[in-house]
Amino acid sequence: MGTVSDPRIGVALGGGAARGLAHIPFIEAMDELGLTPHRIAGTSIGALIGSGWAAGLKGAEIRELAYEMLGTMNGLFGRLFSTQMRSMSKIFREGISIQLDPVQVVDTFTPSGMPDMFEGLRIPFTCVATDFRSWHQVAFHQGPLKIAVAGSLAVPSLYRPVRHHRTVLVDGGVVNPLPLDHASVDCDLLVGIDVNGDPHAWPDGYIPTMLDIGFGSAQIMMHQLIAYMITAYPPDLYFRPHNLNVGSHEYWRVREIIEAGEAEKDRFKRELTARIEGFIAGQRKSS
């Protein structure tokens, strides 16, 4: 007789800047079902949240940290300003930059006790960034954790690129906004959470600003890349929270963003449970 086991679940957490906070209810859903992923892969905000999940944080803990750190505009910008002013010698040497330092942002917005290295994580984790020099994807799964997550977060122009060995790292969403390929390794069920959002409901007669056009164009390109990735690595469950008409930088709308993910939470639990039961039933038939 063969043995019956639970499926190994791989989870891909996509990029979407502030919209990525909608990942949190899906993590809570797996916690409530008593499930731990076999593997997590994340891009950009998905890398930041995914690294905390892989380190052992529960979804509810990530939610509380998000509320605490991002819940007010004053609190958010106070933290960001503190990262800019942290190194006075660097300011005197280089001047005040309007670009954020992603390494300092990771320091500021992650809890104490996070492992320094991938090897210290509880769940295997892959973090995707882009090498601006070679135009290629860089997938990190070992070595220093902070530098990899910072590189994955480095939205072009908004953040300074991250230099790491011979690479110049920028946002992983440039090449792979939903890393299903990395989440699928050695897994039986593949879950993709796409937080790129929907087309913005612009008022009649409104002319988008330069910032609107820049961020919106990036969303359009990511949407196309995600479609190709889904074709190449079809997920068993694919969820795309709607009502995410939130600017990429509007992290202070954290409660509203999380509510958009919350609206899909029960359906996600039902469908994931059904997939697991189907997998186990298939094993029993073949044993």
| Alpha-carbon 123 to chain mean position | 15
Measured at the CA of 245, the angle between CA 148 and CA 159, to 5 degrees, comes to 30
DSSP state of 275: H
Please name which of 74, 8, 51, 10 lies closest in space to residue 252, comparing C-alpha atoms.
Answer: 74
Catalytic member of 44, 51, 152, 184: 44
CA distance 35 to 238: 17
236 catalytic, yes or no? no
Q: What is the largest CA-CA distance in the chain?
A: 71
217 catalytic, yes or no? no
Asked if residues 147 and 186 have their Cβ atoms less than 8 Å apart, the reply is no
Please name which of 39, 49, 41, 51 lies closest in space to residue 19, comparing C-alpha atoms.
Answer: 49
Which helix (H) or strand (E) covers residue 137, if one does? strand 136-140
Catalytic member of 101, 131, 171, 236: 171
Three-state SS at 146: helix
Catalytic (active-site) positions:
44, 171
